Structure 1
């Protein structure tokens, strides 16, 4: 295994994942070349669920979401801190919101302006399946975040404010402020 994995390339990465359980930390440099089958295999054998969640945007596919939910139902624990878990929830929420925007294409039977125009939506079944997987995962993680939040106690006096502007460079600050606001709202 070591000799094969020493020579990982874009071309052989998916083949080697079928044969060996290679840790994702060693594979992440090839994330753009992973197919869905490899992502599913990684999610099923990676020891820590935290690793899969941490890199969920790299391993994104509905089957991986299903595997994470299944592992949670089987009692595996998430040890990510509350802030990171909330960041993952924000990412999932953003992905869900983006998937809700259905892409439509116009198909003209005899060219624009002539004959009927009909719209075709892209693979509605796959889109619906992906949304269901993400929604279930989102709900599962939200419950875990709520439990973690209940354990946090901070002796802060009101009022507390979290502020930031809406410039493009403030995106990370705004996400961080959102996480902090959720935390402070619950404990203050």
Structure 2
């Protein structure tokens, strides 16, 4: 490994640590924007969504991110997603994250089944920050959903490329986002 790539990896771990630090300082920092699913020609290779830093198209609402952790990929990690497993690193020390190869972040939110229309599918659109609500939400648990009409402003921090998911009307959906730096 060259010195340049080691420095770059260290910088990526420092950036990942800054996200966790922000979350720990203000657990209401991150929200996931949920929107109606667009018609995709190929589900395995969806087009880049038309999202800007100002607006998410066909916004349904926002779900509260109740977990933000630095993680690394492993075969038997305690965090299981559809395609990989991850192990959390309970530290925001960039040196420790670099030694654990933890340059990824895991975000988790719960989308209540009542939040999306039964007759439609939705798409996880973006990770957002600086969300301003018409009325301050009273956060009582991880299943907090705020309708898009209740949001005055937001900043799209990162565009998420998750497939559309059908609302089965029975259970809440666990929204899992892995972001690699």
Bigger fraction of residues in helix: 1
Bigger RCO (CA 8 Å, 6+ sep) = 2
Q: Shorter-normalised TM-score: what interval?
A: under 0.3
The TM-score, its normalising length taken from structure 1, stands at 0.26
The structure with the largest alpha-carbon Rg is 1
Bigger fraction of residues in strand: 2
The TM-score, its normalising length taken from structure 2, stands at 0.27
